[in-house]
Each structure stands twice: as C-alpha cells, then as structure tokens.
Structure 1
Amino acid sequence: MIYINGRFLQKPITGTERFAREIVQAMDTLAGLTNLKDAITILAPPGTPAPEGLKNIKFQTCGTRQGHAWEQWDLYRAASDGTLLSLTNSGPVLHPHQTVIIHDVAPYRMPKDFSLSYQAFHRILGRLLAKRSQIATVSKFSSSDLAAVLSLDSERIPVFYNGHEHILRAPSDDMVIEKLGLQDRPYFLFIGSPAPRKNLGMAIKAFRALKRSDIAFVIVGAANPKVFRESLDAQAENILMPGRLTDGEIVALYQHALALVFPSLYEGFGIPPLEAMVHGCPVLAADIPAVREVCGDAALYFSAQDTADCTRCLQSFLDDPDMGETLRQKGATRYAEFSWSKSAEQVLERLFDSKLQGKSISQ
C-alpha cells in the first residue's frame, strides 16, 4: 500500500502545496489508467476536508493530533504497514519506508527569511529525514544543494519537476484589468511573497530608476498592501499592489503584461516564470541556477544583486520591439518540458519500482 502524507491539505496554497495538490491529481488520473486503483490512500489529520475530484486515490483521516505532532506520531502509526510519500518538506522521521520531497534548503541558505525556531526545527528535521528516508526534490539545482547541505549523493536524489497544466485550467478574468486601471497602461508584473529572498525591494528600485510614469509595476502577493508598500518604500502612483488575486485574475495579468519580473535571490524551482511562459508573457529574471534550469534561453536575465543591471534589463526590453515576441516564442516551446503528468508518472514508477505497464498520461 502507498500512503500520501495529507497534511498539505490543511494549508494555504503556496508553491509547495501547489506541487502536492497537482501531483496527487495527476497520480489519481494515472492510477485509473493502470492497475493502481485503490492502491493509494491519502492520510490526513482529523477535520481535514477531502480533496475534490479524486476518483482512484482513497482518502481518510486518522489520529487525534494536529500539525507536526500528528505527522510525527499519528501518521507514522497509520502508515506503518506501507510506503509513505511526503510531498511538502517534512514527514515522520521514524517511518522506515518513506520518500520525502524537500523543495529547497532555504532555511540554510536564506536564514533571514525564517524565525530562529523555524530554522532550528527544519534543519534538525532535514538531517534526520536524510538519514532515514529517500530524499527527492524539484530541480537539479536543489538536488545539488541538498546534497551539499545534508551530506548526500546528488545522484541518489531524484528530481520531480513542477508542471504547467494548472494555469491552463483557470479561465482568464479580464475584469481585473479594468479594476486596476490598466486598460490603456503598459505594466510589468511581479508574482510572489514578501519574503526577503524574493528580492522585491531591489526590483522596485530598478523599476523606479526607469523614470517611466507611463508604465506601471503590478505586484501580486499575499502581503498586506499597506504594510508591504511602506516597508518597501513603494510610494508611487504607478506601483500597484492589489494583494492576493484569484488564478483567473493572475492569468489575465500574465496575458496583458509587458513582462514578468522575477528577481529572486534564491529558488528551488520558481513557478511564476513557467506560468508566464504558458500565457505568452515574456520573462525577465534573476540569473540564478534554478531559474536558468527552468527558463533556459526563454528569459532575459539580470544580476539578482545589481539594481543597475536590473534597470538595464528592463530598459533593454523596452528598447527592443522584437524582444517580447522572441521570448514568447521561446517560452511556448520551453514550458511544455515541465508537466505534472510526467512528474506524477515518475513518482509512481519510483514508488512501485517498475514501469507502469506501458501506460502513460504524459503529453
């Protein structure tokens, strides 16, 4: 029996939770095409609502605890007779047959992004899991980074990439363009959180250095816009902070933007550039390993540490009337290489240690 750690179902959807939900949905489809129906069960803490749309993967709650206590004890006991798959950075350290997907080593590389207690807990947890479990991750860069930090062999850390299909399912909500007053106004777009590693403050300074009041910078994220704006010194009429938006609104913004600006200092993968390419939005990105791995030659790069270089990149893009179409064409080819279906197939083949009878849902 294969069990899936369902604690992610209780959390808001960020990058890691998106990965977990999409991999499970794709695994469910694949299970229906093979002999794996009812061979996989999601185990979740009490009170967790069942995920919608699953036809072949079973779901049940177990135990009495919540949070890490549930994961370390209740989940361990409930999954003790099978193989466990934990998709979002943590799992029960005592389980002897577990694959844990650790998306990056940000608590080690970017400690300022986390509280001291969070850093300490996840550093200890990561090292314990590295000794007891099969570690996997979401990019070759993260595989090398995990190997360096946790003293592992990178060749023994499988890579299961993020995919693109989720952003195709969201219908474009063009009302957001009118709501933000962008009908006749070109704009650059940022999608992300306020974490320091996302490097938004540098991108704002680079944008302001353009001195283009006719162009807006739209910043989409979950932070309180008022607090965020003040902390980033973003007091300008052409810097818009609408806060968290729906997938449909984000799709519309991708489709109408001049380009996505992705200035991160550190990423394990980086989903926004992939989503942007799906919807024909050119990508201007920080030149860091994980983003290079995802975007290849389908992005225009700048130094994440150099505000002037970011400004030069934005200006270069504006000055070249053909650059946008070139990046769109390259992105349209690039994004198809990253598929939830393909990654789910690879996960199942590893868990069951065999090819899935020639069945495939990869595109």
Structure 2
Amino acid sequence: MSKEMVQPNRLTCDLTELFAGSLGRGGFYGIARVVAEIANGLSQIEPELDHVVYFAGINCFVVVDFDFELFASGRPAKLGFEVQRLLFSLDQQLFRLRTFLPRFLHDCLRDWLTKVLSGRHSRFLDTKVNRVLFSAARPKFIASYLKLLELINARGSGQWRLASLLHDFFPLLDQYDRPGRGFVDQFCRDNALILESSSYVFANSYFTKQCLLELQSRDLMPASAEVHVAQLAHECRTPNMGSPIAGIGKNFFLAVGCRPGRKNLEILLDALLILNESDPDGCHLVLAGAARTSTKRLLKQPRYQNIHPKIHIQVTPSQPELVELYQRALATVLPSYSEGWGLPASESLWLGTPVLASDTPVMHEVCGDLGLYFSPDQPAELANLMQRLLCEPLFLEAKRLSIQNSHTDLRKWAQTSADIASVLLAGDSPKYCMEI
C-alpha cells in the first residue's frame, strides 16, 4: 500500500511592515530594518520564497517584488515599489474609509482595485498551497490578517501555519512611557491573538523571551508554542556614501532614536550638563531620528538652555547618513531602561565605534564585554564615561582596538535568518544562537 504524499510547506515572508513604512518619511531603522534583513536572508536560504503584503481593503495577500539593495540604500519612502506601492496606499485608504463610504461605492472601489492589481501583473497568493507565513511585523499588522488565515484554513484546500517574531512587551511591563490605556489594551489583545494563532514563536533576544515567559507565568499572556530565540544582528550595511553631513564637529556622542521616557533621553542631557560645567568647549551631542514633540518639549526646559548650542538634531537620516554618524562619533549612547535588542548599540560595534549602554540584561546580551555600562538613573556615571573617552586618547584607542579584534565574533543577519529557517524548514534547533 502506497503512502499518501504529504505536500511540503512553502515558506512565505510578510513584507506588510515595509510597505506601510514606505508611505511615510521613516528611515531604514527598527522593525522595518529587521523585516528587510530577515526577508533578504531567508531569500538566500530558500530561493522559492514568496514575498507578500496584506491588502486590508480587499482582504488578500499579494505577491510583491522585493529589491533589498534598493531598500538598504536609503529611506523606504524613496522606494518606488513601482505600482504596487501606490496600489497598497490606495488599499490602505479604502480600508480606513470602509465605515464611511456607502456600501455600493466601497464595493465598486474594491472591485476596481482588484482588477488593477491583476492587470498590473500582480499575483494574488495561491491559498491552495500549504504554507508557513513568517512575519516580523508589529503586532497590529499580524493581528489584522489572522481572520484571513483562519478563513483559508477553514476552506481546507491549503493549510497555513503562522510563524511570528516578537520584538518587545514594554507597554505591559514598564512604567516609563505610560502609554494610553486604549493602546495598552489593544497591544495586549494583538499579542494574545498572535500567540494563540502562531505555530512557531520567535523572540528577538533571550531577554524578550524571558519577558514573554514572565507574562505567561502571571497569566497576562496565553500559553503558546515553544518560544525560539533568533537574536538580531550587529551587522550594519554600508551603502555608497553621499555628501558629508554639514554642521557636525569631531567630538560628538551619538544617540539614535533616543527620546524621553523609556528611551531615557533625560539622563543623556543631564550628563551633558555635568560635562558642560567643567568644560564648556567640550563634547557635542547628535540626536538622530524622528522629530518627536516629546523631545522638543524636553529640550525647551530652562535647565537645558546652556547646552542648546551643543545639541544637533539630525532628522530621519538615510542609511548612508546614519553610517557616517556612527563612524564619526566618539561613541554611541544607548541609555534606555530597556530594549528588545538595541540596534544602535549593535550597529555601532559593527562599525568599530564604542558603545555607552545602560547596565541592563539586554545590553549585556548585545554588547558583552565590548560595552561600557552605566546605571540608567545615574547621570554622573554616564558623564564620567563620556569624559574618559574625550580626555583619555589611550583609553578610547584601546576600546576601539578591542572592538576591532572582536569583529569576527559579532553577529550577521544571515545568522538570524538561519536560526529562523532551521526551525521553519527543518524543525531543528537554531544553529547559530549564541551569547557574546
């Protein structure tokens, strides 16, 4: 008697986060960066990988083109994604207006968008094939298409399994940012649904895994499939550089995505105040990232008036600009009370620049012996480390040399993708997970 052939699962990678980010002015940072790097790595491992985007307005997955080199070279907002990106934008507007438009008009627009997608040679994802859908998007995106996955599986023609990478649980664990109750409740619901629906669960660090296990032990999150760890990477792409950034001197410290609250911009400004008292002509600070109202409000406080000339804000730098900042900085400072991983610290080490990091478990996981640590509520400790790097050339050179000698031990994005693929494609334990 012949055995029934079991259809293999086709690996499929979700790029919804990238398309959503490409509609704004955001740079190649954070979760968008993680999604792109892992998608690129999985493509090298599985040549037949499908890249898809969820179109909420027409409730389907569309196969999309993904030019990683183009993405890595600048801001997502500069990406063409050709017609697909424009149609995704129209789809998002259609979804937002679904409760305001008359039903017939909504249906007409949905049908028109579906025809245009088909006419532009876009391919709707074949739901009759068994698939593993991997997503590293924010929880709100993954949760938005869980009902579609349920519908596909209920039809029985093709079975889909969800694999999710989780980044952090800060709204449920700390008090630093104090987000609104509505946001926290929705964040909790989204993560709970994802955990209940995922056949594979990954954490981006051992710290994030521990946070999840703690929440599950307190019944704040439901039980889930086994939690695997796919640590993120240190590797930082260095595309062709453009014109040098003007208006920035030599002796500056860099903070990427730093803001008040959990990101703890307050301690960095207080440390700069301490340094300014002893050396008014000393170091400067570059803040790179989005122009946030909370940051502007903090900088306007009278106590920081004397250090305003020493602060340069580089709004949403491109990838070449960000690499230049890393390479020119005396050190990168990551003062957060907590991070899921901490890309600015890992990228800085990859480019040979010292890291001043808050003395927290995840920063030790990322930086190991290469980091210089301070208590996140002690600005004098941070100021002392900054002073040493400024005034002790031998100390700075020794730290740079130590980072350079450890470069081969730093983690590459290919390793992160391999950790994920080893579970999704073969069911093996991750091959490259390691702590430095």
Please classify the TM superposition score into its range, dividing by the shorter chain length.
0.7 to 0.9
Q: Is the 8 A contact 1:282 1:331 kept in 2?
A: yes
Aligned mate of 1:219, from 281, 287, 290: 287
Normalised to the residue count of structure 2, the TM-score between the two structures is 0.68
Match of 1:267 in 2: 339
Deviation at 1:173, TM superposition (A): 4.1
2:237 is the counterpart of 1:168:
yes
The secondary structure found in structure 1 opposite 2:317 is coil
For the residue of structure 2 that corresponds to 1:242, the secondary structure is strand
Aligned to 1:144: 210
Deviation for aligned residue 1:268: 0.5
Aligned pair 1:17/2:32, yes or no? yes
Residue 119 (structure 2) aligns with = none
Q: Which residue of 2 aligns with 1:40?
A: 50
More divergent stretch after superposition (83-92 vs 343-352) = 83-92
Secondary structure in structure 1 of the residue aligned to 2:164: strand
User: 2:378 and 2:173 mapped to 1: Cα distance?
Assistant: 19
In the alignment, is the contact (CA less than 8 A) between 2:263 and 2:335 conserved in 1? yes
**Residue from 244, 250, 253 that aligns with 1:188:** 253
Residue 117 of structure 1: how far off its partner (Å): 2.1
Partner of 1:30: 45
SS in 1 for 2:291: coil
Question: Within 2, Cα distance between the matches of 1:78 and 1:231?
Answer: 50
Give the Cα–Cα distance (whole angstroms) in 2 for the partners of residues 296 and 172 of structure 1: 30
CA change 1:80–1:190 in 2 (3 A) is same
Which residue of structure 1 aligns with residue 414 of structure 2? 341
> Which structure 1 residue ranges, 5 or more long, are not aligned?
359-363
Residues 225-246 of structure 1: CA deviation (Å, up to 9, x unaligned): x873442334321111122212
Shift of 1:116: 2.4
- Residue pair 1:193, 1:222 contacting (<8 A) in 2 also: no
Amino acid in the other structure paired with 1:231: L
Shift of 1:250: 1.7
Closer/same/farther in 2, CA of residues 204 and 80 from structure 1, 3 Å limit: farther
Structure 2: gaps of 5 or more residues: 1-9, 70-83, 97-123, 150-159, 432-436
**Hey, what does 2:310 align to over in structure 1?**
238
Please identify the structure whose Cα radius of gyration is greater: 2
> Matches of 1:216 and 1:85 in 2, distance apart?
42
3-state SS in 2 of match to 1:158: strand
| SS in structure 2 of the partner of residue 260 of structure 1 | strand
- Calculate the aligned-residue CA RMSD, in Å: 3.4
Q: Judge conservation of contact 1:189–1:259 (CA < 8 Å) in 2.
A: yes
Q: Deviations over 1:159-195 (max 9, x none)?
A: 1122244x3332344610xx1141xx41111111435
Specify which of 92, 104, 118 is matched with residue 183 of structure 2: 118
**Alignment match, 1:361:** none
CA contact (8 A) 1:207 1:311 kept: yes
SS in 1 for 2:370: coil
1:118 Cα shift? 1.9
Q: How many angstroms does 1:299 deviate by?
A: 1.1
Q: 1:277·1:335 contact (CA, 8 Å) conserved in 2? A: no
**Shift in CA distance, 280/337, structure 1 to aligned 2, threshold 3 Å:** closer
**Structure 1 residues 338 and 257: alpha-carbon distance in aligned structure 2, compared to 1, 3 A threshold:** same
Amino acid at match of 1:222: A
Q: CA deviation at 1:315?
A: 2.3
State the match for 1:88 in structure 2.
Answer: 137
Matches within 5 A, 1:272-311: 272-311=344-383
Answer with 3-12 or 271-280: which moved more: 3-12
Q: Deviations over 1:249-275 (max 9, x none)?
A: 221222121111110111010001111
Q: In the alignment, is the contact (CA less than 8 A) between 1:194 and 1:221 conserved in 2?
A: no
Aligned partner letter, 2:240: P
Separation in structure 1 between the aligned mates of residue 337 and residue 388 of structure 2, nearest angstrom: 21
TM-score (ref. length: structure 1) = 0.81
CA distance in 2: counterparts of 1:245 and 1:145, whole angstroms: 31
Measured in 2, the distance between the counterparts of 1:309 and 1:29 equals 44
Q: How much has 1:129 moved relative to structure 2?
A: 2.1
1:106 aligns with 2:173: no
Q: What is the CA–CA distance in structure 2 between the aligned matches of 1:174 and 1:303, rounded to whole Å? A: 37
SS of alignment partner, residue 338 of structure 1? coil
Deviation at 1:303, TM superposition (A): 0.3
CA distance in 1, matches of 2:314, 2:209: 35
Match of residue 402, structure 2, among 323, 330, 343 = 330
After the TM superposition, which of the residue ranges 296-305 and 203-212 deviates more from structure 2?
A: 203-212
Q: Aligned equivalents of 1:171 and 1:213: distance in 2?
A: 36
**Separation in structure 2 between the aligned mates of residue 169 and residue 108 of structure 1, nearest angstrom:** 35
User: More deviation in 242-251 or 90-99?
Assistant: 90-99
Match of 2:309, SS state, is coil
Paired residue for 1:7, among 16, 23, 27? 16
Aligned partner of residue 144 in structure 1, secondary structure? helix
SS at match of 1:163: coil
Distance 2:91 2:339 in 1: 32
Q: Does the aligned pair in 1 maintain the 2:51–2:64 contact within 8 Å?
A: no
Larger mean CA deviation between 300-309 and 126-135 belongs to: 126-135
Using the TM superposition, give the Cα deviation of residue 346 of structure 1 relative to its aligned residue in structure 2, in angstroms.
1.9
Query: Judging changes above 3 Å, is the alpha-carbon distance between structure 1 residues 257 and 65 closer, same or farther for their aligned structure 2 residues?
Result: closer
- Any conservation in 1 of the 2:165–2:203 contact (CA below 8 Å)? yes
Amino acid at match of 2:257: G
